[in-house]
Amino acid sequence: MVARDPRFDATAGEFRADLFRRAYGFVDDLKRGEVQELEGKIGKTKNVEDRHKLERVAQKYVRLLCSDVLVWWSKSSALCCSFPHRFHA
């Protein structure tokens, strides 16, 4: 048995972005929840070094969310990045 990557295998069928979004849209919701949780921790953290670490992690999630949205938006102009955040991605 040969392992195949479905992204490059013609027998896997055609990629349907709408079905992919419907099936895996919960991942973005999880990322948003983690950013909100991190923002709460950032507000409570007194140690400057720990605060910067948490901010970097939160910024990473925001960049991932916005980059995913921008890629999706470039393929489907009906979607835009409406995620409110205080970090600059």
25-61 pLDDT, tens digit per residue, is: 888 888 888 889 999 999 999 999 999 999 999 888 8
Residues 85 and 33: their CA atoms lie apart, in Å, by 12
Domain range annotation of the chain = 29-89
Q: Token pair for residue 35?
A: 């950013």
Could you give the percent of the chain with pLDDT greater than 90? 22
pLDDT of residue 40: 93
Residues 72 and 68: their CA atoms lie apart, in Å, by 6
- Name the band, by pLDDT with cuts 50, 70 and 90, for residue 76: very low
pLDDT of residue 80: 42
2-15 pLDDT, tens digit per residue, is: 777 777 777 777 87
For residue 23, count other CB atoms closer than 10 A to its CB.
Answer: 10
